[in-house]
Amino acid sequence: MHAQKLEYTGEVAKATASIYEKLSRQYKESHWQSLAPYIHEINRLKKEKNATILAHNYMTPDIFYGVADITGDSLRLAQEAAKTSANIIVQCGVHFMAETSKILCPEKKVLMPDLKAGCSLADSITAEDIRQLKKQHPGIPVITYVNTSAEVKAESDVCCTSSNALKIVEALGREGHDTVIMTPDKFLAMNVAAQTKIKVLFWEGTCVVHERFTAKDVKDIRKANGDVVVLAHPECPPEVIAESDYSGSTAQMDDYIKKHQPPKAVLMTECSMSDNIAAANPGVEMIGTCQMCPYMKMITLPKILQTLRDETPEVLVDPAISKRAKKAIDRMLELS
Ligand code: 13P
Ligand code: SF4
């Protein structure tokens, strides 16, 4: 389909006014006028095609507040994908999230605005690596972070996300395991290990975004902003978690801010998360130390519109792999 020029008309202004009211601190009016026509057209097409947009907390505010139907962390997006009655899912996030939706809803069309939006953790481990780990440690269960390919999940015993990792480890402990293997994020594994008596063996994967934060960053932020509350994602190194006031998944950090409304807060995580929280919590001053995820930032409004119009690119998972990966995801959903 040919690209059509989208204009900021009176109709667009009226239809998007309530969204801009929330985002006026994030976008200057001239910038907003270039975004609003996309938002309007995407929302029209979504209705026409009975499509739903699942957007991760790291999406930019124009996507997060403008076109998303469901927002959240990896766990919530997976749970909502499993429940949706839409014909089409447009996954605004990274590739493993779209694969998870396809595995949970094989009969639905799952679209992704850019198939190149990957993840350094997913790239750090293969299905063969898991088979080798199992050979080296027979009988020890493998817990695999959802930030992995369908093939890797298919070889694993159970999945976890950053919000339920400790719960899953403890649940396996109650089943009689005194040791577990957590792949592929070594920092998530080390941070979980610090909270449990169960021995956690880990893989050497890291997130390119969270590995960059240091304990010195936290100390410097505290020096410059006396009463700031520091929240850190569990993909950060343990020294960062030790210096922080709270650690949790993206949704858990969001809940913390909503509930406690600290005067000043800093999130040791991806940048858009702070922007989205700032828009919803005008009384909280978000301090701007953050890191950009190059993969998440590949998702933009023009790409979402094109994907929805052309119904491509579609994310497909081999049915045999999907069936085995689903077992590991279902087990996680049951345990959490
Ligand atoms: P959450 O599940 O906490 O949203 O994390 C996903 C992710 O990719 C963090 O980098
Ligand atoms: Fe992957 Fe890190 Fe980006 Fe999350 S922030 S998608 S873990 S690279």
C-alpha torsion angle, residues 259, 299, 326, 312 (rounded to 10): 140
Q: pLDDT tens digits, residue range 314-324?
A: 999 999 999 99
Q: Which of 22-26, 27-31, 190-194, 288-292 has the lowest mean pLDDT?
A: 288-292
For residue 112, pLDDT beyond 50? yes
Ligand 1 atom showing the smallest separation from residue 250 Cα:
3
Separation between Cα atoms, residue 105 and residue 326, nearest integer Å:
10
Cα 98 to Cα 148, 225, 276: the distances in Å are 11, 39, 22
Domain boundaries 120-206, CATH class: alpha beta
What does the pLDDT average to over 112-133?
98
Domain boundaries, the chain: 3-119+296-310, 120-206, 210-286
- Kindly give the distance from the C-alpha atom of residue 73 to the centroid of ligand 2, in angstroms, as a whole number: 12
Q: pLDDT tens digits, residue range 265-277?
A: 999 999 999 999 9
The answer to whether the CB of 209 is under 6 A from ligand 2 is yes
* CB 328, CB 158: distance < 8 Å: yes
Q: pLDDT tens digits, residue range 179-217?
A: 999 999 999 999 999 999 999 999 999 999 999 999 999
Which pLDDT belongs to residue 288? 76
Ligand nearest to the CA of 250: 1
Where are any strands of DSSP class E within the chain? 51-56, 70-72, 88-92, 109-111, 142-145, 158-160, 179-183, 199-202, 229-232, 246-247, 264-268, 285-286
| Percent over 90 (pLDDT), the chain | 94
For residue 148, count other CB atoms closer than 10 A to its CB. 31
Run of H or E including 314:
none
The answer to whether the CB of 147 is under 6 A from ligand 2 is yes
What does the pLDDT average to over 11-40?
96
Farthest-apart Cα atoms in the chain, separation:
65
| Percent over 70 (pLDDT), the chain | 99
Separation between Cα atoms, residue 17 and residue 327, nearest integer Å:
44
Is pTM beyond 0.75? Reply is yes
| 210-286: CATH superfamily | NadA-like (3.40.50.10800)
Separation between Cα atoms, residue 159 and residue 251, nearest integer Å:
18
The answer to whether the CB of 73 is under 6 A from ligand 1 is yes
What does the pLDDT average to over 308-317?
98
Which of 70, 162, 254, 329 has most ligand 1 atoms within 8 Å of its beta carbon, as the pocket-test mutant? 162
Residue 3 — pLDDT band, cuts 50, 70, 90?
low
Which of 58, 59, 121 has most ligand 2 atoms within 8 Å of its beta carbon, as the pocket-test mutant? 121
The answer to whether the CB of 60 is under 6 A from ligand 1 is no
Which pLDDT belongs to residue 208? 97
Q: Which of 28-37, 51-60, 70-79, 231-240 has the lowest mean pLDDT?
A: 70-79
Separation between Cα atoms, residue 221 and residue 237, nearest integer Å:
17
* Smallest CA separation from ligand 1 atom 1, residue: 73
Which pLDDT belongs to residue 320? 98
Fold match between domain 3-119+296-310 and domain 210-286:
yes
Q: If one looks up domain 3-119+296-310 in CATH, what number appears?
A: 3.40.50.10800
* Smallest CA separation from ligand 2 atom 6, residue: 119
Which pLDDT belongs to residue 289? 73
List for the chain the helix, strand, coil content (%; round to 5).
Answer: 50, 15, 35
Ligand nearest to the CA of 57: 1
Q: How many Cα atoms are found within 13 Å in the side-chain-facing hemisphere of 41?
A: 21
Which pLDDT belongs to residue 93? 98
Residue 290 — pLDDT band, cuts 50, 70, 90?
confident
Ligand 1 atom showing the smallest separation from residue 233 Cα:
3
